[in-house]
Amino acid sequence: EVQLLDSGGDLVQPGGSLRLSCAASGFTFSSYAMTWVRQAPGKGLEWVSVISGSGGSADYADSVKGRFTISRDNSKNTLYLHMNSLRAEDTAVYYCAKDQIMGIAADYNWLDPWGQGTLVTVSS
């Protein structure tokens, strides 16, 4: 059974940094791209970032580009999201999700399954 376990969420001050983790099991981790999606309080889902199975390619939403960095350690079956220069509007539950292909192409690709989410709160 494919399982994704998100962790690392915390209360952080504006301008601060945080690293989220997603531990994967039940599939060949390096064969699939992985994605981060977030949901701010009272808002809808927002796609954040994707990384290829090899880790060699990545893409970001404009709202986080230059501040967030996605990475993965295939030897540990773990996905990361490094968040810098955090803003109040980054407050959200962050979910990791498994793509259906190795590359970061969006076509013919979807997210399934998802982790349970981890809460990031940016506030002074």
Partner 1 sequence: SYELTQPPSVSVSPGQAAKITCSGDALPKKYAYWYQRKSGQAPVLVIYEDSRRPSGIPERFSGSSSGTMATLTISGAQVEDEADYYCYSTDSSGNHRVFGGGTKLTVL
Site for partner 1 in 24-83 (CB under 8 A): 37, 44-47, 50, 59, 62
Supply 98's token pair. Answer: 């498994």
Phi-psi region of 74 (alpha: psi -120 to 50; beta: other; left: phi over 0): alpha
**How far apart are CB 41 and partner 1 at their closest, in Å?**
13
Does position 117 interact with partner 1 (CB under 8 A)? The reply is: yes
- Contacts of 19 by beta carbon, 8 Å cutoff, 6+ apart: 8, 80, 81, 82, 83
Total of residues contacting partner 1 (CB under 8 A)? 22
Interface residue list for partner 1 (CB under 8 A)? 37, 44-47, 50, 59, 62, 95, 97, 105-108, 110-117
